[in-house]
Structure 1
Amino acid sequence: MTPVETAARMAAIRGSAILGDQEGVRRGMEAFNDDFRRSIKLADPARKVDREAARAAIRHVDGVRSVAWIDHENLLVIVATNEARSQRTIDDICIELEPLGDTLGVVVNLQSGAARSGDELEILSRNCQLVPGDRAFMQRHRQVDVVPPELRAEHKRNNAHPPADPERLRRQQEEAMRILEATTPEM
């Protein structure tokens, strides 16, 4: 909200007060309060999204396979295909949630149920009303991925250049298998 918009809102409230229009003052103050809350990215606690209604509504979004709440603000959605793991799907989910309450209090965490690699398994995470990586006031960034992005990047760097000597690579693989066999209990 710009200073000019704030001044205009306050002038309208003051005008209503001078005219004795208590309903106008109330509406103006509620709008001012909403604008202020939005400017500091504070979700409306009086309009929390109902969890069960949200789960039911999201099931109708194309590609959604399952939905679960991780905590009071993080929603985990698993989609059927890698292509459905997208910001567009998060948008569709958030649109379904809008009639249910203030979506500023909801972070959608989207994962592919068809993932075959670490990159495909990575979770897309976004607050419904903010850009990726941004969170609402007092909303902590929760690490939902099992493998943190930093560890995945380090693994890629370490495995980007296999040893040039094929015999050395074979010995390393054999050693890894021996360790695996020695530490795996038999069923």
Structure 2
Amino acid sequence: MKATLLLLLPAILMAASASGAGKYSKEIPKIAVPLPAVTAITLDARNVAAGRSLSNTVAPNPDATRKTTTHSETLEINVRNLGPVLANVTVHWFWVGRYVTSGNWFRAGEGEKALAIDSKKSEVVLAECGDVEGHVTKAANEHYKSGGNMLGWVVTVMNSQGEIQAVKASDAYLQGFAIEQPPKKRK
């Protein structure tokens, strides 16, 4: 019985963290992204680089030690125009994270680029995430985690009228953030 409970505990904890970390947590938007029935624009995005570094940093308590893990990623975004005429579009990207202590969502490393893509051509954009930091602080009478965890990314392509033409996310559950973006990361 104990062994079964210990095996199920990680699944229970993951389900609890996915459903929100408290009454102040922002839920994942359940909005389906409306895409046009016919569009000549296609979108592909993939991670081409990721990094993680660990360093000793200054803790708020002078008697404590703090280790900071910094996460970074680079995306390769490929936007294609399969139509017969030039397409003027804007590609917008951001990373989605979650604060360790509150469980609230945030966005980081966002950017956008206007593109004029000729018929039957494609454009490649490299997007870099602003570093997301997570901290582990230890002292004689305290031990806690703070900062944020990077969970994934969202990329959208909009036409000149601001209508979404294509959406791509690192995980399907993040696609709702294409319409209802989380707030920007605190500095």
Shorter-chain TM band: under 0.3
Higher normalized contact order (CA 8 Å, seq sep 6+, divided by chain length): 2
Larger Rg, first or second structure (1 or 2): 1
Task: Tell me the TM-score normalised to structure 1 length.
Answer: 0.23
- Would you tell me which structure has more strand in proportion to its own residues? 2
Choose between structure 1 and 2: higher helix proportion: 1
The TM-score, its normalising length taken from structure 2, stands at 0.23
